Amino acid sequence: MPSDRVKGALDLTDPDLVDIQLMRGAYAVRLPFGAILAVAVFAFPGLMMREKVVISALFLFIYIPQALAVSTNADRLRSSAAHFAVALTDLLTMFTFAVVVPDTRVMSLFGYQAIVGIQSSLSGLMGGLATTACAVGLMLAAELRAPVADRLSPYTLVVFPLVMIVISVGSAATTTERRRAARFLARLTRAVRAVATSAEPAETLCVVTTGAKEAVDASFVALLLREGDRLVLAAIDGFGTRVGYDASERQRREAVANADAGPSAVAMATGQPVVVDDFDTDERFSQWAETAKTHGFRSMVSIPLPVEDHRVGVLNAYFAQQRGATDDDVSLLVAYAEQAALAIARTQAYEHERQAVVRLEEADALKSEFIATVSHELRTPLHIVEGFLETVLARWDDFPDSERRQLLDRVAHNARELDRLIAQLLDFSRVDANRVSVSPRPCDLASEVGEIVGRLAAVLSHHEVVVDVAQAVSVFVDPAALEHIVGNLLTNAAKFSDRGSRIEISGEVHDGEALVRVRDHGIGVAPEDQDRIFEPFVQGPFQIPGRRGTGVGLAIVSRYIELSDGRIEVSSLPGEGACFVVALPLVARDRGRPVPASLASA
């Protein structure tokens, strides 16, 4: 259970409750005021003790209870008329004492001043001046009823109204500033609390924009986050829609383009708020006036989102009217942006950690599958070799020479397959540990590809291999790296296509690069898997016996292409085969070095 102190605490998220607390505070002043007068009356000369007791009793048993009731029910006295009614009651009370007991007229002047101060703090300057006018009228009325000899001096009658006017102005200004600050804090606290309670990245971004929009009553608010050296739209609130991480590419591109020369870029670069009061008249951003009209806004403010010594993005608030953002709005957004930036950074860190965990889990699952696959891939040819050898040894004399040779050929074929798998795993272990290096040199592409195809004759023996490499094409590459690249691509083509199908390998010069294509007519690669097949342990979702590899061949290819300053692309459709295109640097024949693509294509 919350304590009484907690239950009675000021709710900083509700501006209406803030006003109620301020009213209670103002009316609470009447309590000590009544108590002071109840005691001070005994110090006034000219009053009989009986009169002093009666006046003190009236304050203690009528005025103070009434003041307490008003203070505790301040939430029911929300209108200026209600405040003025309470003030008029206090004025008439002081007037009654001044008329009944003329000697209390001086004391009543202090009472009038206190009442004017309270009313000014509740109803503002106009309410304070109206109360001042009533107090001056009642003071003059009391003076007219007093004996001429006892009347106050003209100096007092002139100074008294002036003092009350000063009290009205000062109390109204102080209370207005306090109320403004309280409302500011209420809006800020409410917005920040909403951001702090959201955990999911997309939800946090939407909450940030919604909170800012409600805090400053903007037409809409956009949140742009930094991605590298660009600003990308992450969330927008307005136009009846909210967008999180799933912002469309059109919106993202448009936001990036606008950020290049607009207020967002300036705020991001300087770390200071950028306020545009009117796009039509602001020379800095007049080029955006037409865009502003198209989207229905005329002014805006762009606030950077700081996190320690860098900025994660900007928060933009747009307004339909000129000078839509006041100084208070800008100050609020600056304070809000500091908290929102921390929340965004927290959720981004959370998202990165979550993605890292997912990747680790996927890697662990892939490694487990890899171990199982490799065990199966290695065990299969080993069992075949073992089985054939046992058969040959047990029945050697029963087989004619032709069958003996056929059995031994099959043993040799599986032994070579076992050797290839082991070599591939050893290659990957070196690649994965970054223990490989390349020594590029000028190589004749047609000659190198021909030798590689020749060395893979046994692997490609059941396919129709067509080689079409242009002559006199010199590439700058390590021959061993080229063999890893082309060899793995050809081996995959053979493994994932039917016997007797065609495998095509070609080479040509295009746009200053040497392009090597390896095309098969096998089962192909689904579009959603094409970006992942170059990752270690990733294999296509194929359940075709004999067509599963170790899952590291294309990872080896990717690494050697990277070391060779090349690139690789794949195009494929399931059931229609796959085409891998490798781009390698050319060699300038007169210098024996790579030719920059920009010069080769000129």
Q: Which residue has the higher pLDDT, 600 or 534?
A: 534
d(CA 154, CA 578): 107
Q: Are residues 184 and 68 in the same domain?
A: yes
d(CA 158, CA 148): 17
Residue length of the chain: 602
CATH number at residue 210: 3.30.450.40
Q: Are residues 184 and 220 in the same domain?
A: no
- Using a cut of 0.85, tell me whether the model's pTM lies above it: no
Q: Which residue has the higher pLDDT, 581 or 104?
A: 581
Q: Which residue from 468, 489, 500 is spatially nearest to 579, judged by alpha carbons? A: 489
The total of other beta-carbon atoms located within 10 Å of residue 107's CB is 18
Check whether 590 has a pLDDT greater than 60. no
Q: How many domains does the chain have?
A: 3
Q: Are residues 462 and 502 in the same domain?
A: yes
- The DSSP letter of residue 59 is I
Identify whether the C-beta of residue 415 lies closer than 8 Å to the C-beta of residue 385. yes
Top-confidence range, 270-284, 349-363, 369-383: 270-284
Query: Model confidence at 444, in pLDDT bands (50, 70, 90)?
Result: very high
Q: Are residues 447 and 317 in the same domain?
A: no
Q: Are residues 468 and 585 in the same domain?
A: yes
Q: Are residues 277 and 177 in the same domain?
A: no
Q: Are residues 140 and 235 in the same domain?
A: no
Identify whether the C-beta of residue 490 lies closer than 8 Å to the C-beta of residue 456. yes
Q: Which residue from 195, 250, 241, 202 is spatially nearest to 225, judged by alpha carbons? A: 202
| Sign of the dihedral through C-alpha 249, 251, 256, 261 | positive
Q: Are residues 535 and 508 in the same domain?
A: yes
Q: Are residues 241 and 111 in the same domain?
A: no
Number of helices followed by number of strands (H, E) in the chain: 18, 15
Q: Give the per-residue pLDDT at 36.
A: 78
* φ, ψ at 550 (rounded to 5°): -80, -15
| 427 in any annotated domain | no
Q: Give the per-residue pLDDT at 304.
A: 92
Check whether 266 has a pLDDT greater than 80. yes
Q: pLDDT tens digit string along 459-515?
A: 898 899 999 999 989 999 999 899 989 998 998 899 889 989 999 999 999 988 999
Check whether 220 has a pLDDT greater than 50. yes
Q: pLDDT tens digit string along 25-82?
A: 656 666 777 787 778 777 766 667 877 787 788 778 777 777 777 666 655 665 667 6
Q: Identify the domain containing residue 95 by its residue range.
A: 4-188
Average pLDDT, the chain: 76
Q: Are residues 180 and 250 in the same domain?
A: no
Query: Model confidence at 128, in pLDDT bands (50, 70, 90)?
Result: confident
Query: Model confidence at 275, in pLDDT bands (50, 70, 90)?
Result: very high
Check whether 16 has a pLDDT greater than 70. no
Q: Give the per-residue pLDDT at 217.
A: 83
The total of other beta-carbon atoms located within 10 Å of residue 421's CB is 19
Identify whether the C-beta of residue 35 lies closer than 8 Å to the C-beta of residue 59. yes
| 108 in any annotated domain | yes
Please, which residues have CB within 8 angstroms of residue 171's CB and are 6 or more apart in sequence? 116, 117, 118, 120, 121, 128
Q: Give the per-residue pLDDT at 80.
A: 65
d(CA 95, CA 89): 10
Count CA atoms closer than 13 A to 360's CA, side-chain side: 6
Domain end (from 125, 157, 188): 188
Q: Note the Cα 281 to chain centre separation in Å.
A: 32
Q: Give the per-residue pLDDT at 469.
A: 94
| 505 in any annotated domain | yes
Domain end (from 296, 321, 352): 352
DSSP string, 522-542: SS---GGGTTTTTSTT---S-
Q: Give the per-residue pLDDT at 518.
A: 96
Check whether 9 has a pLDDT greater than 50. no
Q: Are residues 55 and 178 in the same domain?
A: yes
Q: In what order do the strands lie in the sheet with 220-227?
A: 241-243, 230-238, 220-227, 310-319, 299-307, 274-276
Q: Are residues 162 and 249 in the same domain?
A: no
| 459 in any annotated domain | yes
In percent, how much of the chain has pLDDT > 90?
Answer: 15
Ranges 124-133, 343-352, 373-382: which has the least confidence: 373-382
Identify whether the C-beta of residue 244 lies closer than 8 Å to the C-beta of residue 205. yes
Q: Give the per-residue pLDDT at 235.
A: 81
Q: Do the strands 274-276 and 299-307 form a parallel or antiparallel pair, or are they unpaired?
A: antiparallel
Query: Model confidence at 373, in pLDDT bands (50, 70, 90)?
Result: low
Check whether 446 has a pLDDT greater than 80. yes
Residues β-bridged to residue 510:
513
Q: pLDDT tens digit string along 167-216?
A: 888 887 777 666 666 666 666 666 566 656 655 667 777 778 887 887 78
| 381 in any annotated domain | no
Domain end (from 130, 161, 188): 188
| 359 in any annotated domain | no
| 304 in any annotated domain | yes
Q: Give the per-residue pLDDT at 581.
A: 95
| 411 in any annotated domain | no
